[in-house]
Chain A
Amino acid sequence: MSWLTKTLSSSIGKKILMAITGLFLCTFLIIHLVGNLQLFKSDSGYAFNTYTVFMTSNPLIKTVSYVLYASILFHAFWGLYLEYLNRKSRPIGYVVQKNQSSFASRKMAVLGTILLVYIAVHLGDFWAEYKFGHLPYVKYTENLTSGEITAVEHLPDTYQQQVKIVETYNEESGSKSVIVKNLYAEAEEAFSNPLLVLFYVLSMAVMGFHLSHGFQSGFQSLGLNHPKYNPFIQKVGLWIFAILIPIGFAIIPVYFLIK
């Protein structure tokens, strides 16, 4: 074994891998939430649908997204493997046990497994639909001087195009028309199902708990614990990652349900 594999497979190396992948997933959450906020624009999904094209065709973002998928899988299965090893470290448990640690910190594996199921469902709902499904196309007409959307035309199911986005400019009327896949409509349709909305909201609660421990735990694993900045890490972990971000995500399906 080289020194690097030895280091990474030690008990400290193992948690450092969890920390690095976990904190990377945390940064992704911020970007994902900021992007998704475009769903709240009342432009029939114009901003969101064109943003989707950008996110799925920019080579840099595509590369990062493959790293992201790998991180999710690694973090999930490495975490489960660690849980298995840790259970083996105490083959016989206590008859009476009064825990002094937080609920979330003890249940990271269970919370994480629920999140893995959620991610699978979520990717099936949107990512797979966008990539492999037959989403209908939509044509927006934008007035180039005012930036207003003057017309939205839902193209028939039979309409197909070779590229992700077709833009045509009309000099005379000073407008541009854009044809893209309508992922926004897919969100509208999916979130008209109250059961799916409930599943999403509960999953976000689970994510809140997972991150209430996970974010600050990642820094501790990396050795970053100092009285000067530790309270700040704790606060960011709790207020931003465990509360604000999950609420931000949870509002989206609820918004579509009651819209």
Chain B
Amino acid sequence: MSEGNMNITLKVWRQKNSKSQGNLETYDVKGISEDMSFLEMFDVLNEKLIVEDKEPIAFDHDCREGICGMCSMYINGRPHGPLEGVTTCQLHMRSFKDGDTIVVEPWRAQAFPVVKDLVTDRSAFDRVIAAGGFVSVNTGNAQDANAIPIPKTEADKAFAAAACIGCGACVASCKNASAMLFVSAKISQLALLPQGDPERQTRAINMVNQMDAEGFGNCTNTGACAVECPKEISLENIARMNREYLSASFTSSED
């Protein structure tokens, strides 16, 4: 890791566990290279803290290439920092200036309790996915890819929805801590494809019910989620989810 000459003042949320009260702690991070990612800057700080026999800052990360959705950090008032369309791991120190003060907080939502420092428990998303259930597939050999014709535009829309990495930035940025962008992406990616059709109605109803049960807020269409989403999931998905849910409620044979 190359040495650099950026000095940063970091204010980071420190919280021992889910029960204790947290507060912002200030750290001076010196000699940072502008080519470092934001997480690498945290690595440098944590190494220093370990050498000093202090507790390193707990933060989530995994792939560090923008596909796992783990690196949740609320940086200077925005999820994943100042850039649009990237995750924290893809954010580099060149997006900041030498001498900057950067405030880093965990996602804030009733449904995402803080576990420690910047780590939140986002298993509510997993339970929403699980509530969606399975997709009927034939066992045996995979069938020919062209056996089911799918219009290109629909396939593209489904693919765009499937780009959601479940990072939770939508919930974090929403003033209502609503999970509608996430859930709508998950409902849309299957509702748009013939493979998702058999369970389409139950999936929409069950996923929305689970979302509500997890204590996410109600969407008021502010649109902050779509601006902050690193995968640029469109608000059209929320409209589609509203339609899917409504038509499922009114026409499905279950109560």
Contacts and interface: CB of A to CB of B under 8 A. Distances in A.
A101 B223 contact: yes
Interface string A170-194: 0000000000000000000000000
Given A10-B212, A225-B239, A105 B246 contact: no
A223 B242 contact: yes
B255 interface: yes
Interface in B198-228: 208-209, 211-212, 215-224, 227-228
B105 interface: yes
B122 interface: no
B36 interface: no
Contacts of A145: none
Contacts of B173: 100
A239 B48 CA distance: 57
Given A90-B108, A92-B108, A16 B227 contact: no
Interface string B40-57: 000000000000000000
B110 A10 contact: no
Given A7-B246, A89-B176, A96 B217 contact: no
Interface in A75-99: 82, 85-86, 88-99
Interface string A214-234: 001100111111110000000
A89 B220 contact: no
Contacts of B177: 86, 89-90
A92 B108 CA distance: 7
B235 interface: yes
Contacts of B238: 220, 225
A10 B183 CA distance: 14
A182 B181 CA distance: 54
Contacts of A89: 109-111, 176-178, 215-218
Given A89-B178, A217-B220, A223 B110 contact: no
A225 B223 CA distance: 13
Contacts of A222: 242
A223 B191 CA distance: 14
B21 to A, nearest CB: 10
B212 A101 contact: no
B218 A85 contact: yes
A96 B208 contact: no
A23 to B, nearest CB: 13
A99 B245 contact: no
A11 interface: yes
Contact of A11 (B24, B178, B249): B178
A121 to B, nearest CB: 26
A225 B74 CA distance: 30
A86 B246 CA distance: 22
Contact of A95 (B105, B224, B243): B105
A88 B76 contact: no
Contact of B208 (A10, A93, A106, A226): A10
A82 B220 CA distance: 9
B235 A225 contact: yes
Interface in A13-27: 13-16
B115 to A, nearest CB: 14
B119 interface: no
A156 B243 CA distance: 60
A222 B212 CA distance: 18
B64 interface: no
B232 interface: no
Given A101-B175, A223-B239, A15 B222 contact: no
A86 B222 contact: no
A92 B105 CA distance: 11
A223 B180 CA distance: 13
Contacts of B218: 11, 14-15, 82, 85-86, 89
A232 B55 CA distance: 55
A252 interface: no
B220 A90 contact: no
Contacts of B211: 11
A100 B24 contact: no
B35 interface: no
Interface string B17-46: 000000010000000000000000000000
A102 B77 contact: no
Nearest to A102: B222
A159 interface: no
Interface of A: 2-3, 6-7, 10-16, 82, 85-86, 88-102, 105-106, 108, 213, 216-217, 220-227
Given A86-B176, A86-B218, A98-B78, 5 more contacts: A12-B245, A82-B220, A86-B220, A99-B175, A102-B223
